[in-house]
Structure 1
C-alpha cells in the first residue's frame, strides 16, 4: 500500500517566468533529506494548468532523476481528454515516473460510467499504477463510494487522493474499501481526522514548507502514536488554514519565497496575494 507523506511539489519560476530548475532540484533534495515518502510533480500545486507539455515532461524527468532509488514519483498526468491523459502517462513512464495521479475530468462533468471508462482506459493503456484524485471543488464532479469501489477492483488502480472534504463519504469509503487500496488525504487539515479513521497518509501542500513536521505527524499516526501526531497537527494547523487563504499554490509559494526557497513568481491567471492576506499568512508563526 501507499503510505505516508507525498509532497505535491510547487513549481518554482525564475523572475522572467521560466522554470527555475535549480530551485526545483534543491526543493526535491530537501524533501528527500527530511524523510518524505514520495513526490508528486505537475499537480495543481505545481500550477499544472499553466505549464506547457514540454515543461511538464521536464519537471517529471528531473523529479524522477533526483528521486531515483530513494522515493517514488507520482506524476500528475491527468486530463479531461482521455486520449491525452493516456499519452501523457505513457510519456511520464518513459521519463521514470513510478505512478500517475489522475484527476477527475474537469469541466465536461462525465457520468459515473464515463468516469469508470476514463480511468480504466488509462490504467489499461498507459502502463502506470493510478492514484485517483477526487477533487469536486475544482473538477465539478464527485467520485462517490460505489464508483471508487468499482475502480478499486482494477489491478492498475491502487489508491485515491480524497479531497472532497466530505468526511461522511470518506468514512464510508474507509469502511468498505479493499484492504490493498490506499486512501490518502488531499487536504492537510483533514490528514489527522482521516488517518484516525484509517487513511494511510496525505498528498500534501504544506510539506513543501514543512516536510520534517509532516513526516513526523503522519508516521506517528501510522505507528499509533496519537499524542505525538496530535501535537504536530495542532502546531501546524494555523498554517493548514492560512495556506488556503487564497487559491493554492499562491499562499504556500508566498510563504516559501519569504523564507528564501524560491522566487515569488506565478503564472497568470494566478497572481500575488492581496496585501491583507499576505500579512495574515506571513504572521502565521510570529
Structure 2
C-alpha cells in the first residue's frame, strides 16, 4: 500500500473544556486533505496527544475519520504503546473500524532490547491483517530502533514502512537493506528533502498542518528532477520547520502547531496537561513565522 509522499500526523481538536471537538475534527480532516494536500493522515499519534486521549476517544476518532474521509486519504491509526498486549487490543479494534494502517511507536520508557523491540512489533503485526508502519523517535521514547532491527522487521509481510526520526545515516542504512517495497518516511520536517535524496519515500509531518501545499511543491520539484527548486523550497520552509519546535525555547509538540492553526482560523483548541499552551511571547514568535 502506498500512503503517498505527504502524511500529516494530525492534532486532536479540543473544545474549551478540553473535550474532543467532533465538529472541528471533521473540519480539520477536510482542511488537511483539500487545502494542505495531505495524502494520508495519522489519527492519535503523539501529535494527536495519544498519551492523554483515552481508548474510547481513540476508537471513536478512528471511526469518525474513516467515515468522514470516505477514501479521500488513507487513515493511519496510532495504536502503539509500551504495553504489547494493550497495543494488540487497540490495533485489533482499530482494524475492525476500517482504518487503512497502524502506526506503532517504539515502546517508550521501558527501554527494551533490540530483540524485545523486534518481538513487540512482530506480535502486534501478526495480530492484525492490515499494514503496519513502525515509528522510531528516540528523543521521546528513550530507545532507538536500530537499522538492523528495522531491516529485520521489514521482512514481516504486513510491516510495510517506517517513520524514523533518527539521522539521515540511519535512513540511508534502512533504505539500502530493507525488504523490496518497504517505505521509509522521515519523521522530522527538517530532513524531509534530505530523506528523499537518500531514497526515502516521503515525510510524516507536523508542519504540513500549515504549510502542506508548500511542502508538496518541494517534494514534487525534487521528484520531477528540479533539485535546485526543491532546495529553494527547503530553504524557505526551514524557519517554519524549526520554529514549530524551537519557539523561541523548545516547546513540546503539539502546542506550537495548535497555536499556529488557531491563528489561521482552524480552531483546534489547547492541549491537555501535562502539556501547556504556548506563552504570549511564544505565540508572537509563531505568528511571525506564519507571516
User: TM-score normalised to the size of structure 2?
Assistant: 0.94
| Aligned match of 1:130 | 132
What displacement does 1:68 show?
2.2
* Structure 1 unmatched runs, 5+: none
Structure-2 change in CA distance of 1:48 and 1:202 (3 Å) = same
Mapped to 2, the partners of 1:63 and 1:39 lie a distance apart of 9
* Equivalent-residue separation in structure 1 for 2:86 and 2:226 (angstroms): 43
CA distance in 2 between counterparts of 1:264 and 1:66 reads: 21
**Map 1:13-92 → 2, pairs under 5 A:** 13-34=14-35, 35-92=37-94
Q: Counterparts of 2:153 and 2:54 in 1: how far apart (Å)?
A: 30
CA contact (8 A) 1:102 1:133 kept: yes
- Aligned-pair CA distance for 1:170: 1.9
Tell me the SS of whatever aligns to 2:286.
Answer: helix
Aligned counterpart, 2:109? 107
RMSD: 1.4
The question of whether the paired residues in 2 share the 8 Å contact of 1:28 and 1:63 is answered with yes
- How far apart, in 2, do the equivalents of 1:229 and 1:73 lie? 27
> TM-score with structure 1 length normalisation?
0.95
User: Deviations 1:231-276 (Å, cap 9, x if unpaired)?
Assistant: 3222211110111021100100011111211144111111111333
Aligned to 2:120: 118
Distance across 2 between alignment mates of 1:71 and 1:86 = 24
**2:216 corresponds to:** 215
Counterparts of 1:263 and 1:92, CA distance in 2:
23
CA distance in 1, matches of 2:210, 2:55: 26
| SS of equivalent residue, structure 2 residue 28 | helix
Matching residue of 2:195: 194
Distance apart, 1:49 and its partner CA? 0.6
> 1:230: which partner in 2?
231
Query: Does structure 2 retain, via aligned residues, the 8 Å contact 1:159–1:181?
Result: yes
Match of 2:173 in 1: 172
Q: Secondary structure at the match of 1:248?
A: coil
Distance 1:238 1:62 in 2: 34
Q: Which runs of 5+ in 2 are unaligned?
A: none
The count of aligned residue pairs is: 285
* Contact 1:218–1:229 (8 Å) recurs in 2: yes
